[in-house]
């Protein structure tokens, strides 16, 4: 079933992006530190970490959707032309 190859690639892409996201969150986002000496600084640190992590997650979802839409409409156009 050769037609499954692009979908299998999308699956692997989604999986790799998930791992990459986890890696970036572990290595970069969790290193963000504005200090923890006061409650406000702790709040800012945790808040920024959460917002940046949510941004990465959002980017992951958008990339996933774009790749899939690109494949789908390209395949449909190809079918129409043949």
Partner 1 sequence: MSYSELPSASVLLNFAIAFFVTFAATPIVAKVMRRKRIVGNDVHKVSRTEVPEMCGLAILIGLVSASVCFVAFYPGTYAYVAAFIGTVLIGGSIGFVDDLRPLGPRTKPVLTAIACLPILILRTYNSSPVIPLLGPVRMSLVYPFLIPLAVAVCSNSVNMMDVMNGSMAGTVGIISLMSTIVLFAAGKTELASLSAGLLAAMLAFYYYNRYPAKVFDGDTGSLAVGAAIAALAIMGGIEIVMMVALIPHIMNAFYGLSSVGRLYERREISNRPTRLLQNGMLQASADRGSPITLARLILAAGALREPEVVKAMMVLTLISSLLGVLTYLITLGGRV
Q: Report helix angle 4-27 to 39-81, nearest 10.
A: 170
What are the C-alpha distances in Å from 55 to residues 16, 44, 61, 74, 76? Answer: 17, 16, 10, 28, 32
Site string for partner 1, 24-53 (x = CB under 8 A): -xxx--------------------------
Q: Nearest approach, Cβ of 27 to partner 1 (angstroms)?
A: 7
**Residue 41 or residue 69: which is nearer to partner 1 going by CB?**
69
**Residue 18 or residue 32: which is nearer to partner 1 going by CB?**
18
């Amino acid at each position: 079933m050769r037609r499954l190859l692009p979908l299998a690639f999308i699956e692997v892409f989604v999986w790799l992006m998930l791992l990459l996201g986890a890696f970036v969150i572990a290595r970069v986002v969790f290193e963000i530190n504005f200090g923890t000496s006061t409650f406000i600084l702790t709040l800012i640190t945790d808040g920024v970490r959460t917002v940046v992590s949510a941004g990465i997650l959002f980017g992951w979802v958008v990339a996933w959707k774009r790749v899939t839409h690109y494949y789908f409409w390209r395949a449909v156009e190809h079918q129409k032309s043949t």
